[in-house]
Structure 1
Amino acid sequence: MTKRMIGVIGGSGVYDIDGLEGAEWREVDTPFGAPSDAILTGTLAGMPMAFLPRHGRGHVHSPSSVPYRANIDALKRLGVTDVVSASACGSFREDMAPGDFVILDQYVDRTFQREKSFFGPGCVAHVSVAHPTCARLGAACAEAAEGAGSRVHRGGTYLAMEGPQFSTLAESKLYREVWNCDVIGMTGMPEAKLAREAELCYASVAMITDYDSWHPDHGEVDVTAIIATLMGNAARAKDMLRALPGHLEGGAAPCPHGCERALEYAILTAPEARDAAMLEKLDAVAGRVLNKAD
């Protein structure tokens, strides 16, 4: 890496980003198929930035159909070093109210229809996701969001559900009271796992729209109310993103948490047993380690 580059994955309500100099929508081909949309590239406050709408412009992808592998691979190919995810979510905590932002640091993955790894037969790898987000990047997001006027909670556990339906009341109570999760959403996984496999620093900003279905005073999730809150959250997310470069160093100093070295000892398949076709697909996400002299 020679310079830091921010990649933003925008969730529901965040379909573009304002203020990019030299803005250009770019099509990126990946061996994992097409990303959710073209990627908007440019410079913001002197820092290179790439923006990808997770659901595509016009919201054409459901949470289960988002091409997560293609999205992360495409950002990596463009030179992104730091990925910031902005996504809508429901809250399990009274004090985490609609309109608040949560800087996530943990996940419980309940998705089951999605490809969750770049690796597989022919090149097997196991990466640690004990700490699935980058604390350095998360702190920068928190500072930028607070400076832009948002109420921010630093730290939280995200329950990733498959969707597209919202939770039953029994599920909502289980996740809140037994599993001790803080927020719930449909897109946080496998995105965070794939970013770790691609050796990218990853931070997730969960933007609360509702109290899910557990709250006795709010009843079942009301999509109309969610959309109203979502649009306000989206505007403040854009304010956060415009401020973010000022909270990050422009150089490419090593991440103190080792995000860019996640694959250092993760690949188990012996060099002579690795599948050539698989290696070709992994040229962007794992090229740093695969191209080393063995």
Structure 2
Amino acid sequence: MERMIGVMGGSGVYEIDGLENATWQKIETPWGDPSDEILTGTLDGVKMAFLPRHGRGHIHSPTTVPYRANIDALKRLGVTDLLSVSACGSFREEMAPGDFVIVDQFIDRTFAREKSFFGTGCVAHVSVAHPVCERLSGLAYEAARATGVTVHKGGTYLAMEGPQFSSIAESKMYRAWGCDVIGMTNMPEAKLAREAEICYASVAMITDFDSWHPEHGAVDINAIIATLGANSDNAKSLVAAMPQLLTSAYTSCSHGCDRALDYAIMTAPDKRDTTVLAKLDAVAGRVLKG
């Protein structure tokens, strides 16, 4: 089996520099169309696939991003390691605009999104106690440090529904909960990646302090745009460093991400809906064919 790195690009990240034999591919899925075509190619001898989460031109809101189609399409292409890159706000003085955070936990406050590939006809429960791949996250941390950006190893990401930003009261509450950053797109993305048995790591790029901060209202939008641009450049450098840290040959994940469905499916084989099973051919084919 060959390794393939997937990159889910968020606000400000719409391409991968230096990708050889780059081709945009339209991938069909039983969950509808992905956010966009997927850019595939090789970088330093390792296969890569890039999907702009919001679509080129930023056409999808955080709520309307087709999360299931995105993860299914990447799985169909053969992605084994998925790096999520997204903009976020900060709840911590020490996590400043321009810094990167390698997220290791989530609190999911989204409510208007389909969060699972499974349901009536084929019920499954995967563990997201540790929602990111520790191995891949560690490599993302190394790659971020190599860019020279200030990077924080570990942090809790509050996923809000949006598209509006937080009120001050909400922001203060999330901060009191122990959250470190806030964004709108990593959920249910991380949960679906786990169901699809793809290793997942999240790089949160801080653009500003959330509304709890006493100087939040004084932040100049031009400063935010400048930070977003710098973050984008650093994110591209981080992505460029990943193939050097990951060999092209794939070996089983030491943290079990690629075996998340081993004991997850609860519905008895004779009670499974064949229509549902047909939709699960990519994400769960490994266990359903066994």
Question: TM over 0.5, yes or no?
Answer: yes
What letter corresponds to residue 5 of structure 1 in structure 2? M
Q: Secondary structure at the match of 2:205?
A: strand
Question: Which residue of structure 2 lines up, in the alignment, with residue 112 of structure 1?
Answer: 111
Question: Which residue of structure 1 lines up, in the alignment, with residue 211 of structure 2?
Answer: 213
Which residue, out of 172, 182, 186, partners 1:184? 182
Question: Which residue of structure 1 lines up, in the alignment, with residue 254 of structure 2?
Answer: 256
For residues 283 and 217 of structure 1, the distance between their equivalents in structure 2, rounded to whole angstroms, comes to 50
What letter corresponds to residue 235 of structure 2 in structure 1? A
For residues 222 and 114 of structure 1, the distance between their equivalents in structure 2, rounded to whole angstroms, comes to 32
Question: Which residue of structure 2 lines up, in the alignment, with residue 69 of structure 1?
Answer: 68
Q: Cα offset for 1:205?
A: 0.1
Q: Cα offset for 1:48?
A: 0.1
What letter corresponds to residue 56 of structure 1 in structure 2? G
Q: Structure 1 residue 53 and structure 2 residue 22: aligned? A: no
What letter corresponds to residue 21 of structure 1 in structure 2? E
Q: Structure 1 residue 146 and structure 2 residue 145: aligned? A: yes
Q: Secondary structure at the match of 1:219?
A: helix
Q: Secondary structure at the match of 1:23?
A: strand
For residues 142 and 67 of structure 1, the distance between their equivalents in structure 2, rounded to whole angstroms, comes to 28
For residues 122 and 245 of structure 2, the distance between their equivalents in structure 1, rounded to whole angstroms, comes to 37
What letter corresponds to residue 206 of structure 2 in structure 1? I
Question: Which residue of structure 1 lines up, in the alignment, with residue 278 of structure 2?
Answer: 280
8 A Cα contact 2:4 2:48, kept in partner: yes
What letter corresponds to residue 217 of structure 1 in structure 2? E
Q: Cα offset for 1:228?
A: 2.1
Structure 2 unaligned regions, length at least 5: none
For residues 272 and 220 of structure 1, the distance between their equivalents in structure 2, rounded to whole angstroms, comes to 61
1:196-216 alpha-carbon deviations (Å, 9 max, x no partner): 000000000000000011111
For residues 10 and 220 of structure 1, the distance between their equivalents in structure 2, rounded to whole angstroms, comes to 28
1:182-230 alpha-carbon deviations (Å, 9 max, x no partner): 0000001000000000000000000000001111133376544322211
8 A Cα contact 1:11 1:53, kept in partner: yes
For residues 85 and 216 of structure 2, the distance between their equivalents in structure 1, rounded to whole angstroms, comes to 24
Question: Which residue of structure 2 lines up, in the alignment, with residue 174 of structure 1?
Answer: 173
For residues 276 and 223 of structure 1, the distance between their equivalents in structure 2, rounded to whole angstroms, comes to 51
Q: How much identity, in percent, do the aligned residues show?
A: 71
Question: Which residue of structure 1 lines up, in the alignment, with residue 38 of structure 2?
Answer: 39
Q: Which has the higher mean CA deviation after the structures are superposed, 182-191 or 240-249?
A: 240-249
CA change 1:287–1:46 in 2 (3 A) is same
Q: Cα offset for 1:244?
A: 0.8
Q: Cα offset for 1:13?
A: 0.5
8 A Cα contact 1:133 1:192, kept in partner: yes
8 A Cα contact 2:46 2:247, kept in partner: no
For residues 105 and 50 of structure 1, the distance between their equivalents in structure 2, rounded to whole angstroms, comes to 23
CA change 1:220–1:71 in 2 (3 A) is farther
8 A Cα contact 2:47 2:248, kept in partner: no
Q: Cα offset for 1:250?
A: 2.2
Q: Cα offset for 1:166?
A: 0.5
Question: Which residue of structure 2 lines up, in the alignment, with residue 95 of structure 1?
Answer: 94
What letter corresponds to residue 117 of structure 1 in structure 2? S
8 A Cα contact 2:149 2:234, kept in partner: yes
For residues 204 and 137 of structure 1, the distance between their equivalents in structure 2, rounded to whole angstroms, comes to 9
Q: Structure 1 residue 202 and structure 2 residue 200: aligned? A: yes
Q: Structure 1 residue 13 and structure 2 residue 12: aligned? A: yes
Question: Which residue of structure 2 lines up, in the alignment, with residue 156 of structure 1?
Answer: 155
8 A Cα contact 1:213 1:220, kept in partner: no
Q: Secondary structure at the match of 1:216?
A: coil
Q: Cα offset for 1:137?
A: 0.3
Q: Secondary structure at the match of 2:217?
A: coil
8 A Cα contact 2:199 2:258, kept in partner: yes
Question: Which residue of structure 1 lines up, in the alignment, with residue 227 of structure 2?
Answer: 229
Q: TM-score, normalised by structure 1?
A: 0.97
Q: Secondary structure at the match of 1:30?
A: coil
Q: TM-score, normalised by structure 2?
A: 0.98
Q: Secondary structure at the match of 2:227?
A: helix
What letter corresponds to residue 59 of structure 2 in structure 1? V
1:88-143 alpha-carbon deviations (Å, 9 max, x no partner): 00000000000000000000000000000000110000000000000100011111
